[in-house]
Structure 1
Amino acid sequence: PSQDPGPLEPTPVVEWLASLGGDAGGFAQSVMVPLPATATGATVRTALQHLVDHHDALRLRRTAVTGGRWELEVRPPGTVPAGELLRHVDLAREGADDPAAYDALIEQERRAARRHLDPDRGDVVRAVLFHGWEDRLLLVIHHLAVDGVSWRVLLPDLELAHRHALRGEHAPLPPVPTPLRTWTRALRTAARSEAVRADETWWRSRLATPHAGLGSRPLDPARDTVDRAGRLSSTWAETWIEPLLTTVPAAFRARVPEILLAALSLALRRWSGNPQGAPVRVDLEGHGRRPGLAGLADLDLSRTVGWFTTLHPVLLDPPPATGSPAEVSARAVTHVKERLREVPHDGLTHGLLRQEGRLPDARAPLAFNYLGRFDTEDPCPLYPSDAADEARNGTLGGRHVFKK
């Protein structure tokens, strides 16, 4: 069935988040999408209701915290009223009549929506409908309920639900072959399997390898918190990005994250000023939907929404920087490819073993996550198909923003 309410086993990444302590209420991802001119508050509310009722993760609630462990549940469809999730903002009334004021208002509403999220109340979804010189919908969802892959399911479903809502119809959303609770139960069974136990020695050997620290001092959990972190964003020209995502990986027969990690390894070695020093340990995030473990490999997760992320350490230690820059880069890519392709089961077993208490809680000083490619030129999913040409011509906007 698409819906499967009841108690939910925490995934390894949820256990990791719980282990950090502190308040995770505003830990969220958000997407901003344009709306067709025919959208109304009623049609958006109807589409949101259909979406929330269809995908179990959007009805999550944290029921208890026991000894640092979170207990979760999926509530039945119909228990989360979409009208309580949706806020209406009139652009004219708010004085957002120029791009700068509009962008500031969006960020203000995004922050307010994140503050409102509360897993203990079951508030894991908030939506803001902007009406005025253009209509847009801001979706803010707690990370417990969504990841980067989930958006690729949710946005087309929301578009389909909204298209039918405009006609006063109930949308036939495609079923979810593997409900979220089926997956988490399968994970707990797999954690006790011989295949997972067999990976323990491999992970322990990697964790025992000496590695270099970063910065002038070790991180202090009481002092170095997310709310004190800075942010640095960089935008690159298409002339750099296009080959980075296409011809460069093809030339090395590598994946994009392998190219990026090779570049990171070279940058870290140069930054540290110690070319022959110890490797740097990095926590690598993956989408967690291709584990290859018995009992899991046959589960179809193509339409399951939730937080599936895997998090596991890798050691970045590029070979000596001798030869031309091209030769140094080529050796670094080859070395990273070998390192990553040694990792068993896409790193999932590290989280399972840690969750079972069979691996130490060894956090790396650096984390890396490649979110993939998000097209910002094609019309956003809430546009009806007959608006595609108009959207491409710029009369309806056509960009979306993906943020954590």
Structure 2
Amino acid sequence: MAAMVNLPPDIDETLLVATLSAVVDHHDMLRSRLLPDDGGLVVGAPGTVDVAGLLRRAEGERESAAELDAAAGRLDPEAGVMAQFVWFAPGAGTAGRLLIVLHHLVADGVSWRVLLPDLAAAWAQVREGRAPVLPPVGTSARRWAHALTAEASTPDRAAELPYWKDVLDGPDPQLGSRRLDPRLDTVATLDSIRVDLPDRAMEALLSMLPAKFRCGAQDGLLAGLALALAQWRRERGVAESSCLIALEGHGREEAVVPGSDLSRTVGWFTSVFPARLDVAGCALDEAFAGGPAAGGALKTVKEQLRSIPDKGLGYGLLRYLNPETGADLGQYSAPQISFNYLGRFSPADMPGTSGDWAGHRSPTRTAWTSPPTPACPRWRRYRSASSSSTARTVRGPKPRSISPRAC
């Protein structure tokens, strides 16, 4: 994960390190270290991270993409290096900008809405010579993890097992010429396709559909995906109206743990769960012509998504935190397609930031994301991994879809 932020013109290296240290000391996951044996995380006490050693000065931003890649390469979870900071040299009357690179183990997209305002708040206090005091964190990542582990073994949660088995047990016709091989299908062999939707489609997706069908943009995108897969398969002689999709959610489903508050917790809370979308009975030709069948398919998919318990969080609990149910679910093949709707975002939307400490997208990236290593079999489970987002531009919101595919 990466973001570029403006720096105030009167900041120097000492004050910058003090500001960054205050935020690192406040958020546990930024001080964590990955244990090599069981993959757990151990958190160091505040003050144990040498933030000055994580800061690098760079001249100008012409090499910002190379600096991003180099910073990502310096991350070392097992050594406790979860963050890197690159300070691009200031110009006339400015202090330049700061590239913040975080390992995905310790931050997700929601975390930026906590970190950037906290940086601004810490700087305001450091600037005045005061020790920074930041708003408290509600539920720590540690407490959340322990609560989910306990929840995974409750009778009510275990009762979801038949639902998830039914989702996974249906057909999932092979999309490519072969199943993915983690030895061959790595990040280095991906083909990435980016599609920017035209204004007319954007207006329909973000305004017309939600108003007419009482749905969200994700419902419309997934209905379109389900229809496209059914049509694609029909053209190849495969009669299958349902599709199995791995959906990603933000995972901060506080209702699962009563009393929890993750609004200010930095960490990686993403949930991934299978969903079966079925457009059986839909007249595909009519739907693709924009007829009533398209609306019917959207309503069907919307209701199927609404029926998923707790927005899918229970699947991960039963698959990975409950040994008995995990053995059952582990027998099924993973979906071939992964889908993630990143939502509508703009750096200007970050609460508590404007001007100084305002966030920008990272160099050469369409979202605040740094690349995995080329040999990483990150996508080995999915034939296609599609992420969609809506970025606000000068001309208004522009939906885009980025689909890394196995070559």
TM-score, with structure 2 as normaliser: 0.80
Matched, 1:215 2:176: yes
Listed as ranges, the gaps of 5+ residues in structure 2 are: 370-407
- Give distance in 1, aligned partners of 2:360 and 2:254: 33
Aligned positions of 1:142-157 closer than 5 A: 142-157=103-118
1:365 aligns with 2:323: no
Partner of 1:90: 59
The aligned amino acid for 2:244 is R
Counterpart selection for 1:137 from 98, 105, 114: 98
Q: 1:318 aligns with which of 279, 303, 325?
A: 279
Give 1:199 deviation, angstroms: 0.4
Q: Distance in 2 between matches of 1:73 and 1:379?
A: 29
Paired with 2:301 and 2:350, the residues of 1 have a C-alpha distance of: 36
Task: Assess, with a 3 A threshold, how the Cα gap between structure 1 residues 180 and 376 changes in structure 2: closer, same or farther.
Answer: closer
Residue 174 of structure 1 aligns to a residue in which SS? coil
- Give the match for residue 127 of structure 2: 166
Code of the aligned partner of 1:287: H
Q: 1:305 aligns with which of 249, 266, 275?
A: 266
Cα distance in 2, alignment partners of residues 88 and 380 from structure 1: 27
What is the CA-CA distance between 1:44 and the residue it aligns to? 2.1
1:350 paired with 2:308, answer no
Question: Partners in 2 of 1:364 and 1:124 — Cα distance?
Answer: 30
| 1:162 counterpart letter in structure 2 | W
Aligned partner (choices 17, 27, 40) of residue 71 of structure 1: 40
- For the residue of structure 2 that corresponds to 1:212, the secondary structure is coil
177 and 218 in structure 1: CA distance in 2 versus 1, 3 angstrom threshold: same
Change (3 A) 1:239 1:164: farther
The residue number in structure 2 matching 1:224 is 185
Which residue matches 1:266? 227
Residue equivalent to 2:31: 59
TM-aligned CA distance change 1:379 to 1:223, over 3 Å: closer
Q: Identity of counterpart residues, as a percentage?
A: 38
Q: Deviations over 1:23-63 (max 9, x none)?
A: xxxxxx11112223223222221111011100011111112
**1:341 is matched by which residue type in structure 2?**
R
**CA–CA distance in 1 between the matches of 2:268 and 2:259?**
19
Are residues 172 and 147 of structure 1, via their aligned partners in 2, closer, same or farther at CA, if it must alter by over 3 Å? same
The 8 Å contact of residues 57 and 89 in structure 2, kept in 1 or not, is answered as: yes
Q: Which residue is equivalent to 1:41?
A: 13
| Counterpart for residue 377 of structure 2 | none
Deviations along 1:165-205, one digit per CA (max 9) or x if unpaired, are 22222232100011111111101111111111010111111
Shifted more, 194-203 versus 241-250: the winner is 241-250
Tell me the C-alpha RMSD between the 2 structures.
2.3
| Whole-angstrom distance in 2 between the partners of 1:149 and 1:363 | 26
Query: Structure 1 residues 136, 63: closer, same or farther in 2, change over 3 A?
Result: same
**One-letter amino acid matched to 1:195:** D
Cα distance change on mapping 1:337 and 1:379 into 2, 3 Å = closer
Contact 2:241–2:279 (CA under 8 A) maintained in structure 1: no
Q: State the Cα distance separating 1:88 from its structure 2 match.
A: 1.0
Other-structure match for 2:381: none
Cα distance in 1 for partners of 2:308, 2:162 equals 12
Match for residue 202 of structure 1? 163
Q: Cα 1:143–1:39, aligned 2, differ >3 Å: closer, same or farther?
A: same
CA distance in 2, matches of 1:380, 1:299: 21
Counterparts of 1:326 and 1:142 in 2: how far apart (Å)? 46
- List per-residue Cα deviations over 1:193-251 (Å, max 9, x = no partner): 11110101111111111122222221112111223223223334555435422332222
Aligned to 1:15: none
- State the alpha-carbon separation in 2 of the partners of residues 64 and 166 from structure 1: 40
Match of 2:2 in 1: 30
Instruction: Give the Cα separation in 1 of the matches to 2:99 and 2:200.
Output: 31
1:158 deviation in Å? 1.1
Aligned pair count reads: 350
8 Å contact kept, 1:286–1:310: yes
Which structure has more strand as a fraction of its residues? Answer: 2
Q: What TM-score comes out, normalization by structure 1 length?
A: 0.80
Q: CA deviation at 1:275?
A: 7.5
Query: 1:142 deviation in Å?
Result: 0.8
SS in 1 for 2:245: strand
Structure 1 unaligned spans of 5+: 1-28, 97-101, 392-397
SS in 1 for 2:196: coil
Structure 2: how far apart are the matches of 1:297 and 1:266?
A: 38
Give how far 1:268 is off: 2.2
2:300 maps to what in 1? 335
Matched, 1:286 2:237: no
Contact in 2 for aligned 1:162/1:382 (Cα 8 Å): no
- Pick from 42, 50, 65 the counterpart of residue 107 of structure 1: 65
- 1:140, 1:151 → 2: CA distance? 11
Letter in structure 2 aligned against 1:300: D
Please say if residues 48 and 82 of structure 1, whose CA atoms lie closer than 8 Å, have aligned partners that are also in contact: yes
Q: Distance in 2 between matches of 1:163 and 1:271?
A: 55
Per-residue deviation, 1:288: 1.0
Aligned mates of 1:218, 1:252 — CA distance in 2: 37
The answer as to whether partners of 1:36 and 1:383 remain within 8 angstroms in 2 is no
8 Å CA contact 2:172–2:335 kept in 1: the answer is no
Work out which of the residue numbers 116, 133, 137 in structure 1 matches 2:74.
Answer: 116
Cα gap change, 1:378/1:36 in structure 2, threshold over 3 Å: closer, same or farther?
Answer: farther
CA distance in 2, matches of 1:264, 1:43: 49
